Amino acid sequence: MKLACVQSNVVFGDSQANAAKAIEKLKELKAEGVDLAVFPEAYLTGYCVDTSEQACAIAISSDSEALKMLQSACEELDILAVVGYAEALDGKVYNAAVLLEPGEAPRVYRKTHLPELGLDKFVEAGQELPVFETRLGKIGILICFDLRPPEATRVLALNGAELIILPTNWPVGAEISAAHIAIARAAENRVFVATCNRVGEEHGFRFIGQSKIIGVTGQVLAAADGEEQTILAEIDLRQARQKRTIGIPGKYETEVFASRNPRLYTKITNS
């Protein structure tokens, strides 16, 4: 499959303008043979708010015009997309990302690990780590700070995820996540990881870009700098189904999951 991460700036609080920009990009990417396009965290709405009232003001519902526009575009273009946004649902706000696939109802992941920053100070935490079956393969979604606790990525991998998509809003100071942690998560689970950060400034925060598409052994297949940029990579998800790494056949081989000793890890779940 051909995967794209669209590292882009965002128009704060204007979901339809952001959706229109995404649709134009989807048209370009479809012409390049892309199967799945990823956009940043909170791409449709913006992220940097200072109060719960501001968070509610930018949040959009599942029947918003912006999401309808994107879903129709994915259907017409026959392309998959993952897009982040502040979600209004049942009187609450979530930091969410929607998976749009032609012929399927939209599927939503809600951020489960929340830092003390921007939108995340005023949202509810999601309570599930789903793996989505798609025509391309098994896809897990995490959002930004979800990458920091290693357990979230491991759970997705244990549940069969072959590709983990990370829409993110890494600001200045989060370089370690872009440069090292994402690569570690891919290698320690033998899964593909696609990080899609935003760029530009929003209400005093500057975002660093540095999006990456990472292979199952941690090799960087494509990387962005700090400007608006789209990165592309061809990936074969069958590689993520093979959890055995062979250094020297018969002499140096390792198993990602079979070598685990879960009885030693009860402190993780009991704390």
Number of Cβ within 10 Å of residue 206's Cβ equals 12
Indicate the SS3 state at residue 237: helix
Indicate the SS3 state at residue 235: coil
- Cβ distance 214 to 220 under 8 Å? yes
CATH 1.10.3110.10, domain 2-245, yes or no: no
- 186-218 pLDDT, tens per residue? 999 999 999 999 999 999 999 999 999 999 999
Q: What is the pTM of this model?
A: 0.96
- 230-271 pLDDT, tens per residue? 999 999 999 999 998 888 998 898 888 999 999 999 998 887
Helix 150-158 / helix 182-189 crossing angle, nearest 10 deg: 30
Number of Cβ within 10 Å of residue 86's Cβ equals 28
Number of Cβ within 10 Å of residue 121's Cβ equals 14
What are the structural domain ranges in the chain? Answer: 2-245
CA distance 66 to 55: 17
Alpha helices per DSSP H over the chain: 15-31, 52-58, 65-77, 150-158, 175-176, 182-189, 266-270
- 96-110 pLDDT, tens per residue? 999 999 999 999 999
- 38-92 pLDDT, tens per residue? 999 999 999 999 999 999 999 999 999 999 999 999 999 999 999 999 999 999 9
